[in-house]
Structure 1
Amino acid sequence: MERALKRYWPIFILPTLLAFLIGFIVPFVQGLYLSFCQFTTVNNAKWVGLSNYIKVFKDTTFTDAMKFTIAFTVVSVILINVLGFAIALALTRKLAGTNIFRTVFFMPNLIGGIVLGYIWQILINCVLSIVGEPLLALNTQAGYWGMIILTCWQQIGYMMIIYIAGLQNIPDDLIEAAQIDGASSWTTLWRIKLPMVMPSITICMFLSLTNGFKLFDQNLALTAGEPYHSTEMLAYNIYNTFYARAGAQWKGIGQAKAVIFCIIVVAISMIQLKATRSKEVQQ
């Protein structure tokens, strides 16, 4: 069997490699080229050099969307991971009904972002109308915190499952040895559990960070960028540049925004991965 795999490995790799080339590499290279062009379709692209990139940073909606996305991502990443880890700690204490709670917390992750957005739009608008505050379409602060609540509600359960797997992978001998040495629960958490669960933290930080930056459907359904683009995130801003603005020049500008967006997400993700992996403990 092993000899057959070594002999025929190209047969197994070729379909995946072709799918990767056709579905990712070719569109990425073509998109990079189009970011330097003015076009309405791929076949009528006209080279304009760095003009699109210059116009991107003159577009205040893009810079405002970047600031909003960064502010949103920082808060959501902290809340998702802190709450997800806290719930995981609580549900690994062998309490009655933990499996039910795990299912309940995980269920929001199974619901689509568009559906969640519209559900929370109705709920938040009802609460705002009761307390006499402007509705989401006219309330930037409510839109921002509504996005935070929605994202946390959807993603905490997923991160909780990853943290539970990490906590359950900690050898019982280490916990017992700490208890015998008189370590408190707080000391055990900081000195043993957190260092041992760093691989899970790396994964959860990466997922919540990238999800925060590329959030689109929840933004579209909950606030649609209102009021006056003040709650518009980067992915939704790029979408609006392509489809809500008329004229061939906006296609190239939208593509340039997409390239800048890709670079930002990749750079921040790589920094985060390097920072958290350096803290991992070899087991």
Structure 2
Amino acid sequence: MTPKSLRYAYFPGCVAQGACRELYQSTQALTQALEIELVELKKASCCGSGTFKEDSQLLEDTVNARNLALAEELNLPLLTHCSTCQGVLGHVDERLKDAQAKNPAYVEQVNGLLKKEGCSPYRGSGEVKHILWALVGDYGLEALQAKVTRKLAGLKCAAFYGCYLLRAQDRIPYDDPYNPQSMENVFRAVGATPIYFPGRTQCCGWPLASYATEQSFTMAGGHIQAAIAAGADCLVTPCPLCHLNLDSRQPEVEKVIGSKLGLPILHLPQLVALALGVSPQKLGLDRHIISTSSVLDKLR
């Protein structure tokens, strides 16, 4: 049994089922180790990663009201492991809940569009949680620490929060958006040493990558260099899009900044599951562009 028999409607998002498949793997491994039940929302659609609203706010709200309604049908909080999905879904949920009181006609418009497609209406009865918030706020750090079988002593981890997790929503009950500590507290709970560095709460550069590639890679390179200078053995991120820019594109980043980096970038579920004794192979640590062997060597 888990401390609270935790159960969530699971929204994996797109990237974890494609380019970052190891995030999907490691989330499954982590929740199984913690006896957290995930009910995957197989009918959910892409949240739009913030791009839908560039064409239409109504489009973003309607698409994500449908996603939120799928979780509401199960009477479960919606859980995601993607900061971008958290930011978009959480912000839409906040906006629609506010509209229920201040502009109910707008919510009726959204639900009217859902009804035309045979979808359940958005009721505003649910909650959107990133897996980080679930670990800190629901499972609890003491309970997590009690599950550790492989202490990460000696491993210096730098958190890279990114943008969406901290600043997309107006109300975040689990952390301070300007001076967050939740990831560092998780690191301590699993025996790792937190490393603080400039840029840990800034943008990784991913949103710029398609039209300002050099600037995007310069941003990413600066963050990685700052983490290395602070003594980090790895960066740990709660966002697969940050992971793509910091890990998958790190060789290209090196060319742009003219400097060798070679810093492993871990997904948050990978790090925590390692401490719970899950094998590196099961966590997909061999799928990374930048080898994670230096991290694993520290744990031997």
Report the TM-score range of the alignment, normalised by the length of the smaller protein: under 0.3
Per the normalisation by structure 1, the TM-score is 0.23
More strand by proportion, 1 or 2? 2
Q: Flag the structure with more relative contact order, 1 or 2, with Cα contacts below 8 A and sequence separation at least 6.
A: 1
More helix by proportion, 1 or 2? 1
